Amino acid sequence: MTDLSREEARRYARQITLPNVGAEGQRRLKHARVLLVGAGGLGSPAALYLAAAGVGTLGLVDFDVVDASNLHRQILHGTAAIGTPKLDSARARLADVNPHVCVETHETRLTSANAMEILRDYDVVVDGTDNFATRYLVNDACVLLGKPNVHGAIFQFEGQASVFCTPDGPCYRCLFPEPPPPGLVPSCAEGGVLGVLPGLVGTIQATETLKLVLGLGDPLVGRLLLVDALGMSFRTVRVPRDPACRACGTREITTLIDYDAYCGTPMPNQDDDALEITPQELAARRAAGADLDLIDVREPHEWAEGRIAGARHIPLGTLAGAIPSIDGSREVVVYCRSGVRSLHAVHQLRAAGIPAVSLAGGILRWEDDVGVG
């Protein structure tokens, strides 16, 4: 039991008893270094179970603060942590789960400028991100560094998991060579998520990470696990390695790029202020009898659940075809759930010569600030 204290041997006794783990496997876990990108819905269960299992060093990358809307799924954090950095909350919780684990925190946004340096010293990377730009960034950095990438993603009632970037397996780009059009796929904030779902997927990610460290079983290499919580079904589809993949196939990608630009991610900047109207400003314009063309770019099920009075419905995915029906001489105001998709729509409309603006904060902020239809 060299390198395992008596207290550690007692703590991990049920795991050490496993014939394929034993004391040697537990020592491997103790000396392993695992990086979790994101301390949110997926990172929470993954971090808790990896810490409990005795992974010696856990790295956490996050730059967000705990919000009340996180708590139904991000179980690393509690009510008392609202308004505090997620990494502070995570560090305290993991220390309580297992004081033998070293928690290394990276309170920063993962970017092309710092990804290689942060990922370099870890054995396995667990991707718990919620946006395409960071997923492509993590993937490309893992390919370049030769690090396994334990992937997870969730949306509403469905999730997926896989293991990418191993020497003999595919990478994320083999499955998704190019990102979807900007704004086409809503985030969890836009589309919602069942709170327990990231628990399912994040625990699967933790399981795959332990298998990789211990060299056990058949990891999800070359397979994508699809989780349907409503049907409670799990199925896998094959993901072959693509010889033409620019990352792991042809190796055309030799350096990290601007992934926000690559994925068309709108970055907050001063220019966006000129593209938005606040709920109070919109309410005042309506009260003054302004000739407004109010456009709701949410999905049909969101529109059916409620809308701002007087709006018309043009889902974002159909906006390009509907542009001829929009009169640019009127005041065009676009809204969605929280203001993300509507900004995409405004950029699209302005490129077509229509000086539209986005409702800041979307219908959620409208309901909070104005509270009427």
Tokens of 333: 């105001």
Catalytic-residue membership of 188 = yes
Q: Which of 165, 174, 188, 263 is catalytic?
A: 188
Q: Which of 165, 171, 263, 336 is catalytic?
A: 336
Catalytic-residue membership of 336 = yes
Q: How far apart are CA 356 and CA 366, in angstroms?
A: 18
> Which residues, at least 6 apart from 101, have a Cβ–Cβ distance to it below 8 Å?
51, 54, 55, 56, 57, 58, 94, 95
Q: How far apart are CA 339 and CA 237, in angstroms?
A: 35
- Report whether 224 contacts 159 (CB < 8 A): no
Q: How far apart are CA 121 and CA 302, in angstroms?
A: 44
Q: Please give the helix or strand (H or E) that residue 15 lies within, else none.
A: helix 13-16
> How open is the CA angle 237-243-244, to the nearest 5 degrees?
105
Q: How far apart are CA 14 and CA 191, in angstroms?
A: 40
When computed from its CA atoms, the radius of gyration of the chain, rounded to whole angstroms, is 23
CA–CA distance from 34 to each of 62, 109, 125, 140 (Å)? 15, 18, 6, 18
Classified as helix, coil or strand, 17 is coil
Q: How far apart are CA 270 and CA 75, in angstroms?
A: 34
AA identity, residue 326: I
AA identity, residue 272: D
- Phi and psi at residue 234, in whole multiples of 5°? -125, 125
Which residues are identified as catalytic? 188, 336
